[in-house]
Structure 1
Amino acid sequence: MRKIRQHVNPLSAHFMRERAQPVARPPGLALDCAVEVELGCADAEFSFARAAARADMLMVGLDIREPCLARNRVRAADEGLLNLLFGYVNLNVDIDRVFAPASVDRFHLLFPDPWVKKSHHKRRVIEPALVASLTTQLRPGGELHVASDVFDVALEIMSTVEDPALAHLGLANLAGPWGFWRDNPFAESSRREQTTLRRQQRVWRMRYVRSDMALAPGI
């Protein structure tokens, strides 16, 4: 099996052209079913487990690496997961093309690439424009769930989301301002989280909810 390149530069010219496509809801799901999205899904272990556990929910995995998406689609078909879809996106370029406003119940951003070299920090995914786009696509009461095993990355994400300049977006930290959510509130976990916990390392987790309404019931 051909190895998929782990890192791609999202700022390269190849990826800066808008070409993400809207998600087409598969038949068989209720029009008002819950919609959850794993951003930068990679091998999508979290998405596969979540879709298998919630057959009444639409689960969508998005990534910039199209060979990875192709493999995930084959696996989803093999496992009969009709409620699991995969699509291309460059999060900082064309996420607005994928979902309509107020149509997503929960975004999961799990262990984004830390881009450790200082010269690569500009490639990190969370920036104010993305936070604004994700908030627009969340339904009232929807959630942005973030996890990282790198404290500096988690703190940078927190400082971006909780910047007073973005207070108008209405995202509230469920653990309180500048607070981390200690445990995984979901039964499912990504491969990276499983590895991190086996190494007895800390997962830095944040949960932000649109504060204009209560969080949608049930996780």
Structure 2
Amino acid sequence: MRKIRQHVNPLSAHFMVTRAQPVARPPELAPGCPIEVELGCADAEFSFARAAARPDMLMVGLDIREPCLARNRVRAAEERLSNLLFGYVNLNVDIDVVFAPASVDRFHLLFPDPWVKKSHHKRRVIEPALVASLAAQLRPGGELHVASDVFDVALEIMATVEDPSLAHVGFVNQAGPWGFWRGNPFEASRREQTTLRREQRVWRMRYVRGDMAVPTGP
């Protein structure tokens, strides 16, 4: 099988055109079933594990690399995971096309590309406009779950989400302001398993939309 490129430039002209499509809930799922989304799913090991563990829930994996999505769809069909869908998105261009306002229960942003070179920092995914878009698509009490194995990236994400200029979007850090969440209440992605085997730290953040209580479970 042809190897899929690990990195693409999301700011190239090809990706700056709105091409995302709305996600349609499978008819076999209950109309009000929970919806969770993995942003930048890549091989989607997390999404596959999550969908298998929660057959009552719609799990959606989104990525900018369409060959990844094609392979994931084949695997989902082979594993008969009818509650797992995949779709194209450039997060900073057309995420607001994919879901209706206040319709998503949880977004997972797991180990986003750190784009280490300073000249590439502008390609990093979290920016104020995206934070506002994700908040608008979350139901009241919905969650933005973020994890990274690069402290500088995690700190930059935290600084963006908790910037006072974004206080109006209503995200509340469930570990307290400028706090990281200890442990992992969800399935571990392949990247997280590798990080832990290396005895490295995972920097996790859990933000809830609105002044809500700490989520009681996954």
TM-score, scaled to structure 1: 0.98
Q: What's the offset of the Cα at 1:20?
A: 0.1
- The aligned amino acid for 1:110 is L
- The residue number in structure 2 matching 1:56 is 56
- What do residues 47-105 of structure 1 show as CA deviations (whole Å, max 9, x unaligned)? 00000000000000000000000000000000000000000000000000000000000
- What do residues 114-173 of structure 1 show as CA deviations (whole Å, max 9, x unaligned)? 000000000000000000000000000000000000000000000000000001111000
Check the 8 A contact 1:41/1:62 in 2, yes or no.
Answer: yes
Separation (CA, whole Å) in 2 of partners of 1:215 and 1:151: 24
Q: What's the offset of the Cα at 1:189?
A: 1.2
Check the 8 A contact 1:141/1:215 in 2, yes or no.
Answer: no
The two structures, once aligned, show a CA RMSD in angstroms of 0.9
- The residue number in structure 2 matching 1:206 is 205
Check the 8 A contact 1:37/1:61 in 2, yes or no.
Answer: yes
Separation (CA, whole Å) in 2 of partners of 1:178 and 1:113: 21
Is 1:39 matched up with 2:27? no
Check the 8 A contact 2:65/2:88 in 1, yes or no.
Answer: yes
Separation (CA, whole Å) in 1 of partners of 2:214 and 2:30: 20
Q: What's the offset of the Cα at 1:218?
A: 3.7
TM-score, scaled to structure 2: 0.98
Separation (CA, whole Å) in 1 of partners of 2:24 and 2:214: 25
- The residue number in structure 2 matching 1:90 is 90
Separation (CA, whole Å) in 2 of partners of 1:121 and 1:93: 17
Tell me the secondary structure at the aligned position of residue 81 of structure 1: coil
- The residue number in structure 2 matching 1:20 is 20
Is 1:72 matched up with 2:49? no
- The residue number in structure 2 matching 1:101 is 101
Is 1:30 matched up with 2:62? no
Check the 8 A contact 1:127/1:160 in 2, yes or no.
Answer: yes
Check the 8 A contact 1:140/1:212 in 2, yes or no.
Answer: no
Check the 8 A contact 2:172/2:211 in 1, yes or no.
Answer: no
Separation (CA, whole Å) in 1 of partners of 2:17 and 2:214: 35
The total of aligned residue pairs comes to 218
Q: Give 5+ residue unaligned stretches, structure 1.
A: none
Separation (CA, whole Å) in 2 of partners of 1:202 and 1:46: 18
